[in-house]
Structures are given as C-alpha cells and as structure tokens.
Structure 1
C-alpha cells in the first residue's frame, strides 16, 4: 500500500467524517438548546466542540479496539487479510447504501427544555458521545498497514473534519443563515458514505499492500 494510496484513504475519511458532522443531528440541537438557555454564541460553540470531542473520543477508542483485533488476526490470515478488510468495507458500504432512506430525526435532547445549563450541557454531550461515527471505523483497518502513525493521523483527520463540520454549521445557524439547504444531505448521506466505503474497500482488496 503506497503512501499515495494512504493519502486517498485519509482524504475520503475526511469527507466521510465531515458529511457525518454536517447532519443537522450533530449541530441543530446545540443551536436550539443554546437559544432556549439564552447562551452566547461563544458558549454554544464551546458546548458543540465539547460534545464533538466526546463523539470523536469514543470513535477513536472503538477504532483502537478494531486495530488491536486486526493486528492479532493478521499473522494468522496472512495475504488474505487485505481481502477480508476490503470485503468488510464493501459490505458495510452496501449496508449504508441499502439503508440510504433512513430518516435522521432530531434527537430528543434538542427539543427539550432544561432547568439548568449543567443539565442541558450534560444531555447534549452524552447524546453525541454515545453515538460514534461508525462509518469512519473501517478506515482504521484500511490504514492499519501503515502502523500507529497512520492511526494517529486518521484520528487527527476525524477530529479536524468533525470539529470543522459541527462548528461551521452551528456558527452559520447562529449567525442567522436560516436556510442551509442540507435536506439533500439528510436524504443522501448514507448513500454517499456507502459509496465511499465501497470504493475504498475495493481498492484495499485489489491493490497490493
């Protein structure tokens, strides 16, 4: 697997994480709760970032478990390992494509009112932390051949894309941009993510590592 191919994995991983973070479920609840609690824009963005860090941290932890398991299995599977990883990515991608009409309803935490800021912040952070970016996890396996440096780089890609997406759309909404025209993203997000996973999975399977 060449460094150029790994760069393509990181680039598509960034796209997947950014699109996932751009879903209204990842920023609209913060805008609504922030307005209800009369938070400043800075505080709303701060809570958004805090929740995003929790979201990323759990995803990285799951990715670490996946990579450790992959490292344990790789010596036993030998040259079949990259076929298995590629096949897994294709299977997950096809699952996303089939599930492409899934509805992303706004979480209950975004519709509630809270007695205190602490309760509101806790609910928002816990809500997002416990819903990791599962679409990004196969990218950790795809980059595993490049060692722990690749794991750290992919984690940085995940953090950057997630923070950028959540803060960008939260900030735009707070700034008064009323119509962000993201209906298409809600409708086609899983299809886009699935297609990206299928393409990377095929590349992992058929390109020499």
Structure 2
C-alpha cells in the first residue's frame, strides 16, 4: 500500500510542476489582465476538469485491477513496473523527438475570446487531456480494494490542484523559483526519468 501511495504522490507533485499545467493560465491571465483571484479561480476550475477526467479513467482502470485482485502479487511485481517502464521510455522518445506530450492548451488559440468562452475552452481542453501515467497506480490500487483506489484518487486530486494553484500564484507574483523555460523544454525527459525510476523502485523495493 505504501509503495502505491508514495508513487502516486511523486507523480502528482511532478504533474503539478509541469509548466503545461500552470504556465498557460499565467500567460492568459496576464494577456487578459485578469486579477490574481480570477486567474486562480480559472486555474482551479480547469485543473478540476483535468483531475476529474483523469480520475474517471483511473477508476475504470482500477476496476480492471479489482478483477485481478487474486493475482495482486504478480501484478505488483511485474505488471506495474512494466507499465511504468514503457511509459517512461515513451516519454524519453518524445523528448528525443522534441515533442511536448503534456501540452494541453495552445495559448495562442485562446487569446481574444470572451471570458465564458475562454473558461469553457480551458476546462474542455484540460478535461480531454487526462494524465495517463497515474493509471499504473490506479490499476495497482484497484487490486487492493476500493479504499486504496479512493486514497490514490484523493492524493492525485488534492496534490495536483494544490500544486497548480501554488505555481500560478508564485509565477503571478513574479517570483522566479524555477526556470520555467528549461522545465518546459525538458518536461518529457523529466517525466520519463521519473517513471523509469518509479518502475525500478516498484520492482526492487517492498515498502
């Protein structure tokens, strides 16, 4: 259980820090001259749409894990690390191809729209772009039962939303705690290496 929760926490923190999860809201907010509270509200609503769609997909995957509960030991020892490893290698390939797999929102396409249209577009864009990496942990949690599945969903939703709001707040105040451009350019590399590290952790370490 601890292994699943720690992995879920790490991936949730990583996603909250990925620039595509918060930088578009900062950019659009400045372009549209939104107040800080409006920018944070839009971020929260769009972020919620994103985590809801990811959670729905995760629960479906978790149901598959629930049906495989009798084979949980094999699932945890081989299937989950394999899924994480394949995802990690895929993101590394995207990095080598210089593609941004996490680019949920095209900022340029959003400019000039009315607030309601803009809000709907941002929420729809985030809803239709669920994060796939966390599904390995939904699958594993599903094999342990609904309580574990609920904990993974809770961790993902709370950490992702809180992280997105924090990053928007920090960037909106002009604080330069991270190099967003470098992070954005290398987000596939960071995601890929993190997933591979988690695959190794899951394969060799029992919590």
Q: TM-score, normalised by structure 2?
A: 0.82
Cα gap change, 1:191/1:176 in structure 2, threshold over 3 Å: closer, same or farther? closer
The residue aligned with 2:164 is 166
Cα gap change, 1:176/1:205 in structure 2, threshold over 3 Å: closer, same or farther? closer
The residue aligned with 2:22 is 27
The residue aligned with 1:96 is 91
Please give the alpha-carbon distance, in whole angstroms, between the structure 2 residues aligned to 1:183 and 1:37. Answer: 21
1:39 aligns with 2:39: no
Question: Deviation at 1:50?
Answer: 0.6
**Structure 2 counterparts to residues 122-133 of structure 1, below 5 A:** 122-133=120-131
Question: Deviation at 1:186?
Answer: 2.5
The residue aligned with 1:182 is 180
**Structure 2 counterparts to residues 107-122 of structure 1, below 5 A:** 107-122=105-120
The residue aligned with 1:134 is 132
Q: Assess if the C-alpha contact under 8 Å between 1:32 and 1:110 holds in 2.
A: no
1:84 aligns with 2:82: no
Q: May I ask how many residue pairs the two structures share in their alignment?
A: 203
Please give the alpha-carbon distance, in whole angstroms, between the structure 2 residues aligned to 1:155 and 1:36. Answer: 34
Q: Assess if the C-alpha contact under 8 Å between 1:87 and 1:202 holds in 2.
A: no
Unaligned regions of 5+ residues in structure 1, if any? Answer: 1-5
Please give the alpha-carbon distance, in whole angstroms, between the structure 2 residues aligned to 1:88 and 1:179. Answer: 33
Cα gap change, 1:155/1:114 in structure 2, threshold over 3 Å: closer, same or farther? same
Which of 151, 154, 157 is residue 156 of structure 1 equivalent to? 154
Unaligned regions of 5+ residues in structure 2, if any? Answer: none
Please give the alpha-carbon distance, in whole angstroms, between the structure 2 residues aligned to 1:46 and 1:159. Answer: 16
Question: Deviation at 1:128?
Answer: 1.3
What root-mean-square deviation, in Å, do the aligned CA atoms of Structure 1 and Structure 2 show? Answer: 2.7
